Amino acid sequence: MTAVDVRTFDHLAARYDRISTLLGAELRAWLMFHLPARGDRALDLGCGTGVQTAMLADRYDEVLAVDLSAPMIEFARQHRPRSGLRYELRDLRDVAPDTDGRFDLVFSAYTLHHVDLDSALHRIRSLVRPGGQALLVDVVDDRQPVPRSWFRRQAWRMFAADLRYRRRPVRDAVELLRLQLDHDWLDHQTSDRLHPAADWDARCRAVLTGATITPLRRARALDWRCCPPQD
């Protein structure tokens, strides 16, 4: 039997998709606020099961979405196909202007902590067209690693708040609690090595000058515009 690498999502595609859907309201609101009404080409780096990719495809004529996990890509192809949308099994670091062109939007959510951040940011900058935009979201935390007990407590706190404030249907609240306490999910969560918030901010601003960064729970959300060429 092949051992499971807890750092990957290969064995978690359906669970990851459901958690992302149940917890995605804040990210969806932020993304909808920053997306233009229409666009030409968009790129999703680390698309997972396509939860946010489908939103891009509703606004852009052409979307390229890449991920390293074959089960995640297959899930996305089956559940979130769209006209003009291509899901490809690729390393985000292999996407390059010479082979893939440049994009009006480069988007990435909860992926950059899995790669070298500095080199990824330079690659992202090179992929954005003049006048285009990068929208990046990633998890940050000063603790290395974050204790398993913290994730358990957070899951129960969220469940209590869901019931008290009726933030979601009881059935969804129960399902989310079960998913967040899942052994495999906790294994993955505690395997992450994250950047401290201040470090993430500084590294991003060093490459994407003038970027706006917004806190989202344990994450940072970045909006950067590539200046159009001067006449």
> What integer pLDDT is reported at residue 15 of this predicted model?
92
> What integer pLDDT is reported at residue 5 of this predicted model?
55
Same domain, 71 and 31: yes
> What integer pLDDT is reported at residue 12 of this predicted model?
86
DSSP string, 134-172: EEEEEEB-SSSS--HHHHHHHHHHHHHHHHHHT-S-HHH
Same domain, 127 and 217: yes
Are 203 and 189 within 8 A, CB to CB?
no
Same domain, 163 and 173: yes
Asked if the model's pLDDT at residue 4 lies above 70, the reply is no
Q: Could you tell me if residue 8 is inside a domain?
A: no
CATH of the domain at 84: 3.40.50.150
Same domain, 44 and 80: yes
Q: Could you tell me if residue 46 is inside a domain?
A: yes
Mean pLDDT for 193-201 is 96
Asked if the model's pLDDT at residue 3 lies above 50, the reply is no
Asked if the model's pLDDT at residue 9 lies above 70, the reply is no
Asked if the model's pLDDT at residue 204 lies above 70, the reply is yes
Q: Could you tell me if residue 3 is inside a domain?
A: no
Same domain, 156 and 221: no
Q: Considering the entire predicted model, what is its pTM?
A: 0.93
Q: Model confidence over 112-145: pLDDT tens digits? A: 999 999 999 999 999 999 999 999 999 999 998 8
Alpha-carbon gap, residue 37 to 58, rounded angstroms: 9
User: Based on the number of CB atoms within 10 Å of its own CB, is 183 exposed (0-12), middle (13-18) or buried (19 or more)?
Assistant: exposed
Q: Could you tell me if residue 1 is inside a domain?
A: no
Task: Write out the residue range of the structural domain in which residue 168 sits.
Answer: 147-191
- In a 3-state reduction of DSSP, which class is residue 51? coil
Q: Give me the percent of the chain exceeding a pLDDT of 90.
A: 91
Q: Could you tell me if residue 103 is inside a domain?
A: yes
Mean pLDDT of the chain: 93
> What integer pLDDT is reported at residue 229 of this predicted model?
63
Same domain, 70 and 128: yes
Mean pLDDT for 140-156 is 95
Q: Give me the percent of the chain exceeding a pLDDT of 70.
A: 94
Are 105 and 56 within 8 A, CB to CB?
yes
Are 69 and 10 within 8 A, CB to CB?
yes
Indicate the number of domains in the chain: 2
Same domain, 86 and 163: no
Mean pLDDT for 153-158 is 98
Mean pLDDT for 6-33 is 87
